[in-house]
Structure formats: C-alpha cells, structure tokens
Amino acid sequence: MTTINFSAGPGALPKSVLKQIQSELFSYKNSGASVMELSHRSSEIIELIEETVEGFKRLLELDDDWEVMLLQGGGTLQFSMVPLNLSREGDLIEYADTGYWSKKAINEAKLCKRKVSVVGFGSDIDTSLPVIDSACTSGSARYLHLCSNNTVEGTQFRDFPDIGTPLVLDVSSDMLSYRMNLDNVSCIYAHAQKNIGLSGLTVVAVRKKYILENNDIPQLLQYRSHIESKSNYHTPPVFSIYVANLMQKWLENEIGGVAAMEEINNQKAKLLYDSIDASNMFRCPVGVNYRSKMNIVFTTGHEETDDKFVAFCKERNIIGVAGHRSQKRLRASLYNAVTIEDVKALTEVISLFEKQAY
C-alpha cells in the first residue's frame, strides 16, 4: 500500500531516496558498516560532510563570500543563534511578524536582549503579508528578519525587499523549492525535514562578513566554531546529513536541479489552487498574491466538515491534510518530494468529497 503524504513536516521523501537508504543501510560505500555507526572523524564521514556542504553551495548558487554550516537544533535554535551571531546585546534588529513561526523568532531575539522592532505595514497574517519597504524600516538595524514561507498560515514572500538593511530569512519550509534571489540577504537557515531531508539537521548559510566576534556566548552557539571545524565541532547528525546528501543527488540528477524543481512546484501549486478555487465547497482564505506554493491552506468553513474530509482522505491513503493545531483549517504541503500525480490524486479526492456531499 502506498500512502500519499501531504504532511507539513517532517514531510514526504522521494521513494528512490528511501530505496537507496534501504540498499546501503548495512554497508555504507562498501565500508562494511552502516553510515549510522561510522565515526564522525572517519574519512568517509568527513568526505560526506564536505560533499554535502559543497552541494548546498552549488544548489543555492552561493559564492565564496558565503559559509554553509550543518548544525542541529532545528529552525528553533536559529531563532537565538542568528541574533547571537549577527548582532550584539542592545543592538536594533527588525522583524516582520508574519505569523506563528515569526512570533517565536521575535520572542527568542528579545530573550537574547536585542532591541527588537516589528516592522511592516498592516496585514492580517491569516490572509496576507505585510508590506516591507524603506518607509517602515529604520535603515540602522543590524538586519531584518523574514520568514520566507509561513508554514502555518500558507503565505509566502517571493520577492524580498531591497531596503539597504541586510535580510535574514527563515527558509525552513521553502529552501531549494525554487531559485531564490539572495542578493540582499546576509543569512538563511532551514531545518531539513521538509524539502531537504530529515529532522536533526539544520542548514545555515551566512555571508562571512556579517558574523560578529561574540566570544562571550557558549562555543557551541558560535557560528565560528562550526565554520572553523568544518561542521564537525561536535558529533554531527550523520544520518540526517547522509539523507540530505542523497536528496541533493536526487534533486540534481532525477529532477534536473532547482530551476526544474521550481517548474514542477509551480505546476503542483496551480493544480491544487485551481481545484480549490473552482470548488463550491472549499475555499482558500489567503489572498492570491500571498499564497504559498509549499503549504496550501483551505477550508470548507465548517470544522466538522473539514474533519470529515481528513478522514475521507485517510480512507483513500492520503495523509497529512489536517491544518496546524493552532488553526482550524486544512493544509496540504507540496514539498519537493510530493509529485504532480500526488497532487492530482488529492484534487480528485476533493471533487469526489464534494460530489458525495451534495
């Protein structure tokens, strides 16, 4: 039985990647040992880490101004590591409040004793995004933090503002789903469990010149520790790095790279939004210009009917369509590993459910 997984995270993985994991689980690269058992100081694992760092640099099209780190602690630890490394106590940093995850980032920055200013002109975070331009920013902040894709609300920034202040992006739910323009960006971070692999791994890319020398913070929290030790400062999450490496190969060799992935993701999102917009029963509350191509939020407007739809999907081997626990809605996450056929199957179930209801 195959199940189609629209979960918001951990998300679906490509079947070919799962098969590859299975085939070499007992012996990684003919070493006779599983990748889970090899020392992080062994040549195999040092090579794996280097290759994966290079893979991210290549896929994100980063030049030598950038450093890529493979860390742990999820998106959540970056909510504090970013302010700790890119600003100092009392510094002004700006945040756009775009919902559930950005609020958590704002709170952590305050706990780090930074002067946090929430910027952006008016928005209802459940249906749109704030306008961010130089009129609403001070011009003197260390950085401006944006959550590029709001996993819970189903909104997504596609064009990042050019306001002179360097941007920091939480790209946890859209990294490598399209070719992102990082011209005005000093740092991006993402956990791996949506588009790029498994939980346990967090990827941070930062332009070196923005890292401050903050020697008074714990060593493990300093980006410098991880850069200097080539992402091997302490025992890294080797298995998650291994899966991210396989995902990179899948993206490059089977999909054809990030631009090809973007094309597929555009088609997937269009298919699902079109079917929701054409429906008499379901609707998407998010304004057309703000809609995420990764997390598609929709509802019948009735909690009970939404719940029935979740059960209806489950009976047809479609899982992960219940909305975030903070919201009473439905949500389908169309991460990289979700195929066009998977989305078609969901649109068919949407029309079947509607037909049966009338």
Q: Which part of the chain contacts ligand PMP (CB under 6 A), choosing from 17-25, 87-95, 127-135, 167-175?
A: 167-175
CA dist., res. 179 & res. 59, Å (int): 9
189-228: contacts with ligand PMP (CB under 6 A): 191
For ligand PMP, what does the binding mask look like between residues 35 and 74, x meaning CB under 6 A? ---------------------------------------x
Q: In the complex with ligand PMP, which residue's Cβ is closer, 147 or 163?
A: 147
**Nearest CA to 78 among 175, 182, 181, 203?**
203
In terms of Cα–Cα distance, which of 56, 83, 77 is closest to 68?
Answer: 56
Calpha distance 231→204 (Å, rounded): 11
Q: Which of residues 122-161 bind ligand PMP (CB under 6 A)?
A: 147, 151
The three state secondary structure string of 225-239 is: HHHHCCCCCCCCCHH
The annotation status of 76 as a binding-site residue, yes or no, is yes
Helices vs strands, H then E, count in the chain? 9, 13
Q: Which of 66, 91, 101, 268 is catalytic?
A: 101
Q: Which is nearer to ligand PMP, 290 or 312 (CB)?
A: 290
Query: What percentage of the chain's residues is helix, strand, coil (to nearest 5)?
Result: 40, 15, 45
Task: Decide: is 323 part of the binding site for ligand PMP (CB under 6 A).
Answer: no
Active-site annotation holds for 194: yes
Catalytic, out of 66, 91, 170, 306: 170
Residue 154 contacts residue 286 (beta carbons within 8 Å)? yes
Q: Is 333 in the site for ligand PMP (CB under 6 A)?
A: no
Q: Choose, from 66, 194, 268, 306, the residue flagged as catalytic.
A: 194
Q: Is 308 exposed, middle or buried (0-12, 13-18, 19+ CB in 10 A)?
A: middle
- Encode 238-277 in three state secondary structure: HHHHHHHHHHHHHHHHHHCCHHHHHHHHHHHHHHHHHHHH
Angle at 60 between CA 58 and CA 64, to 5 degrees: 65
Q: Is 193 annotated as a binding residue?
A: yes
Q: In angstroms, what is the minimal distance from the CB of 268 to ligand PMP?
A: 19
Task: Kindly tell me which of 76 and 184 has the beta carbon lying closer to ligand PMP.
Answer: 76
Q: Is 155 annotated as a binding residue?
A: no
User: Is 124 a residue of the active site?
Assistant: no
Q: Is 29 annotated as catalytic?
A: no
Is residue 177 within the footprint of ligand PMP (CB under 6 A)?
A: no
Tell whether residue 101 is a contact of ligand PMP (CB under 6 A). yes
| 250 annotated among ligand-binding-site residues | no
C-beta of residue 269 within 8 angstroms of C-beta of residue 296: yes
- Cα–Cα dist 62/195, whole Å: 18
Q: Is 101 annotated as ligand-binding?
A: yes
- Which residues form the interface with ligand PMP (CB under 6 A)? 9, 74-76, 101, 147, 151, 170, 172-173, 191
Which segments are annotated as binding site for L-glutamate?
A: 41
Residues serving a catalytic function are 101, 170, 194
Which segments are annotated as binding site for pyridoxal 5'-phosphate?
A: 75-76, 101, 151, 170, 193
